[in-house]
Amino acid sequence: MASSGTTESAPPWDKLGRAIRGTQAFFRQNQYTGGYWWGVLESNPTMEAEYLLLSHFLGKEDPERWRKIRNNILKKQREDGSWGQYYQAPGDLSISVECYFALKLQGCSPESDALIKARDFILSRGGVPN
C-alpha cells in the first residue's frame, strides 16, 4: 500500500518519534538552570475533602480556611452533581461521597442545590442512602 505522505498515513513509529521529540523539547525549554522543573500540582477534590474531614475530627477549627476550601470543592462540582477523579473524567461515586460528607460536616445544608445534586448523583450510582 502506497503512502500518501500525510500525517494520518505516517507509520506509528514516526508519530511516536515526533511525540518523543516534542516532549523532550518541552522539558528542555521548561527546565530551570538548577536542573529541576517547577509546576503546579493539582489533585482531585478528595485532598480538600480529606483535609476538612481530618481537621473537623481533630477539632482544629479554622473557619476562614474551611470556607475557602469548601468554596473550592463546590467550584469543582460538575453539572450532574458529581466530582471527578481527573480533568474531564466521568463523575466518581467514591469522590462524590467524600466531598458530600465533608461539605455536610462543614455546615452546607443538605437542602442546598449543590448537595441535592450531589446526593442525587450518589444515589443514582448505588451510593449511601442516609
pTM score, whole prediction: 0.70
Cα–Cα distance list, 128 to 24, 63, 100, 101 (Å): 46, 28, 11, 11
**Mean pLDDT score, 14-24:** 94
Three-state DSSP class for 111? coil
**Mean pLDDT score, 1-7:** 51
Q: What is the pLDDT of residues 33-80, one digit of tens each?
A: 999 999 888 889 999 999 999 999 999 989 999 999 999 999 999 999
